[in-house]
Structure 1
C-alpha cells in the first residue's frame, strides 16, 4: 500500500493506492499541516509513504515528524538529473521544484509523446517534456487568483475583480478577469507552439485552476487530475 502526499503552497493533497487504484484521497490546507496525523490515523499502518514538498522546510519537518512511526517508510522526492524515464535539462536539476518534477514523471507515465505539463495552482507552471523523456525547460508565472489579487493590492484604482471572461471586455471587472486569464492562456499556447507540429503533441492540465483554463484553450489537451500524486506513485515503485 502506498500513500502519496503533495504539499503545496496552499494545499496538501494525499491519496492511498493499493497498486491497482486509488482507494482514498483528500485535501488539507497547508496552514493546517499539524493536523496531518489525524488524517494519517486512517491510513494502513504499514503503508509506504512518498511525498513532495514545496511549502518550505517547516512544513516538511512537520510532515516527517507526524509520520515517523516504526512501521511506515517515508521518502521525499527531490528533483534529480534522471528518474523514472525523465531526464532533466535544467541548468541545475536539483533546483527544480519537487512538485514540477513529480508532475513530469506522472506525465511521462501517462503519455509517451511530446507533452506540455501545466499545473495551475497558486503559481502556474508550464513545462516542456519531449517524446524522448527530456524535460526541456519551462515557465513559472503567478496563478490566476494571484494575478487578480495583486492588481487589487498594488493599484489604487483597480478592485478585486469579480467579472467574467470575454474576448472583448467592455467594463473594468471583465477586463481584469479576462486579462489575467489571457495571460495564462497565452503563456501555455505560446510554449505549446514549440511541439505543436510533432506527432501526438498534447497538453496535460492539472491543479485547481485547470478546468477554468480548459474552457478556453485552443490546443489539444487532457485534464489530468492528481498528476503529481501519479508521479509520486511511479517514483515509489523504484524505492
Structure 2
C-alpha cells in the first residue's frame, strides 16, 4: 500500500512515504513561502508519485493553502485523513484545557517523543519558536511560543529598513550591524531555550532530553551541542498517528 505523510507548515510542505514497518522514508521539502497555491500544487505534481492510496496530512498553514494541498492530493489519493490535536493519544496527555488551540505540529512532535519514552523538552524552530515540556509519564506540562530568529530579523527590517533582514554570524559581542543582529536574534532564542531547560530540570527533578527540529533549527544546532537534532520529528509523530488511525478505520469496516 502506498501511504504518504504530509506536514504543511507556514514556509514548507514536507512529505515522506510511510513504510509498512512504520518507519518514515526520505523527507522531501517543498518551499512555499511567497508562493501561490497553484505553485504548491505544481510542485507536488513534480515531486510525488502519480497515485497514492492513503495520505495523512497535518497543517498549520492558511486555510487557502491547506485547501490547495488537499485538492492536489484528492486528484491522486484514494483516501485523505487530516490529523488534529487530541487531549489524549495513547499515554500522552495534553496540558491545554482546549487542546484544539495547541498546534497540530506541536502535538505530533510530542506524540513522537512520547513513543521514545523519558522526559523531553521539544524545541521547534519554524516561523515561530515553540518549546514544549513532556514528563516521563507522558504528561505535557505546557510550553512557550516566541518569534523565531528569522521572524525577529524580518520584523526589525519591516520597521527599520536600514537593518538587513539576513546575514551576519553569531558573536558574543559583535562589532558590526549584521553580526549584532544575528547575535541578538539567535541569542534571544538560545536564552529562551536555556531558561526553559533550566526550569524544566527544576520542575521535574531531572534534566529532560532536549530535542531540536524545524527549518530554522539548523542555524541554532551548533550552539546547542546537547540538543538532539530531529528534523523529521513532526512526520514521525504523524506516522504514529497514522498507524492508530489506520487501525481504527480497519476495525470500523
Normalising by structure 2, report the TM-score. 0.85
CA distance in structure 2 between the aligned counterparts of 1:189 and 1:81, rounded to whole angstroms: 28
> Which of 141, 154, 168 is equivalent to 1:149?
154
Aligned to 2:251: none
**Where does residue 123 of structure 1 map in the other structure?**
128
Instruction: State the distance in 1 between where 2:232 and 2:76 align.
Output: 28
Structure 2: stretches of 5+ with no match in the other structure: 246-253
Structure 1 unaligned spans of 5+: none
For residues 22-37 of structure 1, the aligned pairs below 5 Å read 22-30=24-32, 31=35, 32-35=39-42, 37=44
Paired residues of 1:114 and 1:195 also in contact (CA < 8 A): no
Distance in 1 between residues matched to 2:173 and 2:206, nearest whole Å:
34
| Higher fraction of helix | 2
Of 188, 201, 208, 2:193 maps to: 188
CA distance in 1, matches of 2:122, 2:65: 25
Q: After the TM superposition, which parts of structure 1 deviate over 6 Å for at least 4 consecutive aligned residues?
A: none
What is the aligned length?
A: 236
Match of 1:169 among 164, 167, 174: 174
Q: CA RMSD in A?
A: 2.2
Q: How far apart, CA to CA, are the structure 1 residues paired with 2:168 and 2:242?
A: 43
Between 136-145 and 68-77, the greater mean CA deviation after superposition: 68-77
Deviation at 1:85, TM superposition (A): 2.8
Shift of 1:78: 0.8
Map 1:1-239 → 2, pairs under 5 A:
1-20=2-21, 21-30=23-32, 31=35, 32-35=39-42, 37-39=44-46, 41-42=48-49, 45-46=52-53, 48-68=54-74, 72-110=78-116, 112-155=117-160, 158-196=163-201, 198-199=205-206, 201-217=208-224, 220-239=226-245
TM-score by length of 1: 0.89
